[in-house]
Structure 1
Amino acid sequence: MAATRNRTPPDPAAEEAVAAVLATAGVAPGETVCVALSGGVDSTVLLHILVRLRERGGFTLAAAHVHHGLSPNADAWLEACRACCDALGVDFHAFRVHVRRDDPAGPEAAARAARHAALAGVPCAWLAFGHHQDDQAETLMFRLLRGAGVRGAGAMAAVEPGAPGAPGRLRPLLGLRRAQIVAWARAHGLAWVEDESNSDQRYTRNLLRHRVMPVLEEAFPGAVAVLARASAQFREADALLGDLARLDEAACGDATLERAKLLLLSDERVRNLLRWRIRAMGLEAPARARLVEAVRQLREAPEQALRLPLGAAVCCAYRGRLWLEPEGAVAVPGATVWHGEAELPWGAGTVVLATAVGAGLSRAALERAQEVVLGPRWAGLALREGVGRPRRSFKNLCQEAGIPSWLRDGLPVLKVDGAAAWIGEVGVAAEFRCAPGEPGVVPVWRR
């Protein structure tokens, strides 16, 4: 436990910086701000500054500590955080998590994932973290050395609005150097804990902090501030790439993209759009090499049905359309009984049953039926496409229609009293076809 005496007047810059971030985020009176409190100097200072600001801002303050069990001092740290919150009149949440020391991602990454998972359970509008400018510079260096793109190089933002139902994230100290934070703590006589693992240079971030960054600052004074500014510029560029992706998506057809229009774009814009849409699905963006190969195959075979793996997602191209779906998450929709509705749900899309005359299915045949069901294929499924023609198996029908095997389980089938009347992408059975001038129903599958 580190403690100091109040020997110098406190620097108001830290408090002003925190207040400015709260104002930018629009933290409203009555909202709860929860500090991710490790007990270290950064989060301890942040907590004390927020205590000083809570009456003015009208927000409720809480703190949460995650006990990883990786240090013999972990119990003492938890109790120190609890005592600090009790003294300040701050609600305290404690979480104990298990971190595998042999995790393939490494203990640092495993601990970070466990910590964020625990913090996600805190009932609050905002989670506040004690990251500062030195952390920002280290994060940028760390990510660049791992080959990060524009988004990764953007590092951390001071304000990150939360997804629906999830808290936003605040990093109010991001504009301050660590030395300023320590100085504020000393000026106020604060006590904090020291994590012994922070000096272990076997961890990459510690190596950057203790060996690389001091050399950079000695050779290039102001390097930390410059790197932090670069991160802000990368974030701005990433936002612009997102805007471009939205424009390209709208121009190419929104939900499912028109393949021909997509391929009019440059390779860079196609990759940007695919990457952006994968992230919008909540999935990790693939490596650049995978995107390059996917775009190459799309251009070399502009009419061919393709299913291209992109890490956590799959790019599907078929009959002039292109869409993305999660890898391994394709589920066969269940059956739905039709009671005359204009449309029925089918997977992520719908089957529209449009009224017509002399086209599609005979409405009279549908109305006479005991049961009309929209569902998936079944064993032995067959359909006769024309009067006098033989019944063809589902497999043969799909082969003739050029439907790839990976799409077949997801085709909608309209079953009338146990017989196939219509198969999506294939057509209408001869015995259910509407006669000229007769009222009909035309099924249309909209993915």
Structure 2
Amino acid sequence: MAATRNRTPPDAVVEEAVAGVLAAAGVAPGETVCVALSGGVDSTVLLHSLARLRGRGGFTLAAAHVHHGLSLHADAWLEACRTLCDALGVVFHPFHVQVRRDDPAGLEAAARAARHAALARVPCDWLAFGHHQDDQAETLLFRLLRGAGVRGAAGMREIEAGTPGRLRPLLGLRRAQVLAYARAQGLAWIEDESNADQRFARNLLRHRVMPVLEGAFPAAVPVLARASAQFREADELLGELAQLDETACGGATLERQKLLRLSDERVRNLLRWRIRAMGLEAPARARLVEAVRQLRVASGEPLRLSLGGVVCCAYRDRLWLEAGDEIPVRQATVWQGEMELSWGTGKVVLVEAVGEGLSRAALERAQEVMLGSRWAGLALREGTGRPRRSFKNLCQEAGIPAWLRDTLPVLRVDGVAAWVGEIGIAAEFRCAPGEPGVVPEWLR
């Protein structure tokens, strides 16, 4: 009987967990926390517990609901979420999105992408999600069955920095604890009929696979969640190793020979880490294995290897990554005094200066100034008294590989090359000391 009397009430268990995550994240008074509110029990409990804590924490609370239009009940769900927010005095942000039913990634993935795109538009400091420990275990199994690596197996984090940051305050709690809170508080929530549809992989795991696992291994869920934490730790260590290897190999532009002294595994780890740092999805392992093989076989030969959304470029002793897989299209723009000119997927900026760069007077008295691509016979004199040198020789000396040469912006003044991106300014167009000038900068 004493054990029963001393058992912590469900509301206290949940609120203590939520308050702990808010404190660990450093959620400050005056900041806005927005709950991704589906109307299901998890997000409803999260919103309710945060509403009880906001007076103590001093934060502003909001909620966002994404109407996917995939269910006949979607309108009713939106209104139920609005009613809940009104009752709790919470700012409500409704979003209507269109989901591609024929998306190659599948309906679940398409809906998730649309949902996250909508939530990214919410004005808040923190987005809070109702994921719990059972979700974490299911996520780990789902990703492992899809062939995820260490990063994918790391699962979800309680706290993610960003703008906005992301919080999962219920991640340390079991589904049963969340339900116990909802029942103790007399909460009403939405039951999405699609959650019972076992044609969806996650539902199949939840309703058929996890019960069998827990029947054989009662601690399966916390053990799988703990494994996710260990994978996450390993992923962080691999990131630290990649940073060390990047520094040892020359920084942003890697020294090819130093890179190839590393093991294949470390080269792949570094490339994968660099690609993710660019905000892009890392390619499949097989693609990276082949890229590293070609780098070793090619030795010092120029290479341009497509890795999906990113290109691995190697020229002489340099190796770097570029976003995209297409060489920018040739274009030509007449300069009319503006300080920025678009170029491919980037731009050329003219920065005002004195005594350096291109002579402003020379540009203004010219009949025509045009930003465009190279042309046959293009040559440039880099210094007074020096001979004019061909574009090809200039590129070779500057270490610019053949496949990039058509992408270089050229400022043409009355038919003469005055500046070439990555190469420099022609001597006859240079600023005199004390003279107003502009310094061209190519921002890719």
TM range (shorter): 0.7 to 0.9
- Looking at structure 2, the residues matched to 335 and 160 of structure 1 have their Cα atoms a distance apart, in angstroms, of 43
Shift in alpha-carbon separation, 1:324–1:351, aligned structure 2, 3 A = farther
Partner of 2:216: 219
Partner of 1:191: 188
The secondary structure found in structure 1 opposite 2:243 is helix
RMSD: 4.1
Trace 1:81-100 onto structure 2 (pairs within 5 A). 81-100=81-100
Q: CA deviation at 1:381?
A: 3.7
Trace 1:215-254 onto structure 2 (pairs within 5 A). 215-254=212-251
Q: CA deviation at 1:393?
A: 7.4
Partner of 1:316: 313
Q: Write out per-residue CA displacement over residues 113-150 of structure 1, whole angstroms, 9 at most, x where no aligned residue.
A: 11111111110000100000000000000000000011
The secondary structure found in structure 2 opposite 1:324 is strand
Amino acid at match of 1:98: Q
Amino acid at match of 2:275: I
Amino acid at match of 1:156: M
Q: Does 1:120 find its partner at 2:116?
A: no
Shift in alpha-carbon separation, 1:380–1:74, aligned structure 2, 3 A = same
Asked whether the equivalents of residues 369 and 417 of structure 1 are also in contact (C-alpha less than 8 Å), the reply is no
Amino acid at match of 2:140: L
Partner of 1:76: 76
Q: CA deviation at 1:385?
A: 8.8
Asked whether the equivalents of residues 351 and 446 of structure 1 are also in contact (C-alpha less than 8 Å), the reply is no
Asked whether the equivalents of residues 348 and 441 of structure 2 are also in contact (C-alpha less than 8 Å), the reply is no
Give unmatched runs, 5+ long, in structure 1.
Answer: 1-7, 340-344, 353-362, 435-442
Q: Identity rate of aligned residues, in percent?
A: 74
Partner of 2:199: 202
Amino acid at match of 1:380: A
Shift in alpha-carbon separation, 1:348–1:286, aligned structure 2, 3 A = farther
Asked whether the equivalents of residues 245 and 269 of structure 1 are also in contact (C-alpha less than 8 Å), the reply is yes
The secondary structure found in structure 2 opposite 1:48 is helix
Which residue of 298, 303, 323 corresponds with 1:301?
298
Amino acid at match of 2:180: A
TM-score in terms of structure 2 length: 0.82
TM-score in terms of structure 1 length: 0.81
The secondary structure found in structure 2 opposite 1:99 is coil
Q: Write out per-residue CA displacement over residues 359-382 of structure 1, whole angstroms, 9 at most, x where no aligned residue.
A: xxxx99x98996697954343343
Asked whether the equivalents of residues 103 and 110 of structure 1 are also in contact (C-alpha less than 8 Å), the reply is yes
How many residue pairs end up in the alignment?
A: 418
Asked whether the equivalents of residues 305 and 313 of structure 2 are also in contact (C-alpha less than 8 Å), the reply is yes
Q: CA deviation at 1:236?
A: 1.1
Give unmatched runs, 5+ long, in structure 2.
Answer: 1-7, 338-342, 352-357, 431-439
Q: Write out per-residue CA displacement over residues 185-214 of structure 1, whole angstroms, 9 at most, x where no aligned residue.
A: 111111111011111100000000001011
Trace 1:337-352 onto structure 2 (pairs within 5 A). none
Partner of 1:18: 18
Amino acid at match of 1:107: L
Asked whether the equivalents of residues 35 and 127 of structure 1 are also in contact (C-alpha less than 8 Å), the reply is yes
Q: Write out per-residue CA displacement over residues 214-272 of structure 1, whole angstroms, 9 at most, x where no aligned residue.
A: 11111111000000011111111111111111111122222211112211221111111
Asked whether the equivalents of residues 381 and 420 of structure 1 are also in contact (C-alpha less than 8 Å), the reply is no
Amino acid at match of 2:70: L
- Looking at structure 2, the residues matched to 11 and 415 of structure 1 have their Cα atoms a distance apart, in angstroms, of 72
Q: Does 1:379 find its partner at 2:375?
A: yes
